[in-house]
Amino acid sequence: MRIGIIGLPQSGKTTIFNALTESQAKTGDYSGVKDPNRAVVKVPDQRLDVLAEMFNPERLIPAEVEYIDVAGLTRGASDDEKSEAAYIAAIRQVDELLQVVRSFESETVFHPEGSVDPKRDIQTVNTELILADLVLADKSAGKLEHQVKVAKTDETVRHFEILKKCKEALEEETFIADLEFSEEELKFLAGFGLLTQKPMLYLLNMGEEEIKKPKYEKEDFAGFLKPSRSCLVPICGELEMEISQLEEADRPLFMEDYGLERSATEEVIQESYSLLGLISFFTYAGPEVRAWTVKEGTSAVKAAGQIHSDMERGFIKAEVIPFETLKELGSIQKAKEKGALELHGKDYVIKDGDVVMFRFNV
Ligand SMILES: Nc1nc2c(ncn2[C@@H]2O[C@H](COP(=O)(O)OP(=O)(O)OP(=O)(O)O)[C@@H](O)[C@H]2O)c(=O)[nH]1
Ligand SMILES: [Mg+2]
């Protein structure tokens, strides 16, 4: 999974990138154009730790997420009709966006709009996303319109209609994610990497003093966030970055001092997963215990295919035990004795936390 971090200049994107990825990228060096920061992190999952203890495997492989932190979006970023800004191109390929919204006050950190106003900033950024998509949809529709004139096929007409629908929605400031499409239409649109089609998680970047006395409540943003399924997580970016730089053993005490119940990193990943409709399952084949990520509703045979195409082709059955049951019983051996391993066929729908052994034949 790939997640792009966006927001206005100096809203705290790189600070939060560092917190999420335990990186040390330079913060506060506003310079407009720069290469994106990238880092891959292992998805923290306490269930995997329990399994590690139970199986004592040679290798423990968590799921991974890549974060891409780009330069700040500015007003008019999408005005250039000829070439798309490189940092916008860089986020067209991600699965989900994190929009960092500044709530912290600071005498020393400048605000491109002159004052702290999260709702206005969200609007500014979202307008840029809409414009960037509009330019792209317009260009592509123009090309198709030409094709429709010179060599009309049913397909070109259909594709042109899809883009027209997108353009009309964007002109009304509707995000593409809030439109209805058929499977086939979605397949066609997937190639464009429309920014307003991506799930978005908003991170309200608070100052330290806001932990105890929040300036804004989540409810203040209800009905305001786009696309409509989005949600907002308040996070204290600077503190989270400090926490990420501590030794793991020192973190709980530090967090307690500031009245933080858990690190925001885990919450961000959880919310990111649920926005994308992703779940985790686990396998314990041979020397390896491993976490896998699939879309909710994935069948056992497709899940096997994600591991290896041979496993999909030669699929026989899946031996499944829910994580909680396995944890209670204490070991696979015990689970076998108790007959707690369920046998499922191809069409079984994988559930979050399933511990699975695939039986296959090649
Ligand atoms: N007081 C305070 N300062 C913060 C907070 N989060 C970030 N900053 C500061 O804000 C400045 C900008 O932070 P960055 O993380 O570099 O912001 P950015 O969004 O990546 O900036 P650009 O990449 O230039 O767009 C830095 O000096 C940070 O130390 C916060 O929660 N409180
Ligand atoms: Mg930055």
Give the DSSP per-residue string, 218-273.
GGGGTTTSSSTT-EEEEE-HHHHHHHHHS-GGGHHHHHHHTT-SS-HHHHHHHHHH
Residue 32: which of 58, 65, 71, 89 has the closest Cα?
Answer: 71
SS3 80: coil
pLDDT confidence of 44, banded at 50, 70, 90? confident
pTM (2 d.p.):
0.87
Q: Are 196 and 176 in contact (CB under 8 A)?
A: yes
| Ligand 1 center to 268 CA (angstroms) | 18
Query: What mean pLDDT value characterizes the chain?
Result: 92
The residues lining ligand 1, judged by C-beta closer than 6 Å to any ligand atom, are 7, 9-15, 27-28, 30, 71-72, 104, 106, 109, 205, 207, 236-238
What is the fold, at CATH topology level, of the domain defined by 277-360?
Ubiquitin-like (UB roll) (3.10.20)
d(CA 200, CA 4): 10
H-helix segments, 28-83: 46-55
Of 37, 238, 244, 245, the one to substitute when testing ligand 1's pocket (max ligand atoms within 8 A of C-beta) is 238
| Ligand 1 center to 103 CA (angstroms) | 11
Of 5, 6, 8, 10, the one to substitute when testing ligand 1's pocket (max ligand atoms within 8 A of C-beta) is 10
Ligand nearest to the CA of 18: 1
CATH number assigned to the domain with residue range 2-36+71-275, chosen from the 4 options 3.20.20.100, 3.40.50.720, 3.40.50.300, 3.30.365.10: 3.40.50.300
pLDDT tops 80 at residue 254 = yes
Tokens coding 169: 């929605």
Ligand nearest to the CA of 37: 2
pLDDT confidence of 147, banded at 50, 70, 90? confident
State which amino acid sits at residue 101. Answer: V
Residue 25 CA, distance from chain mean position: 20
Instruction: Give the number of the atom of ligand 1 that is nearest the alpha carbon of residue 11.
Output: 19
d(CA 208, CA 237): 9
pLDDT confidence of 270, banded at 50, 70, 90? confident
Tokens coding 290: 């491993």
pLDDT confidence of 30, banded at 50, 70, 90? low
What's the count of helices (H) and strands (E) in the chain, helices before strands?
13, 12
pLDDT tops 80 at residue 76 = no
Domain ranges for the chain, please list them: 2-36+71-275, 277-360
pLDDT tens profile 223-232: 899 999 999 9
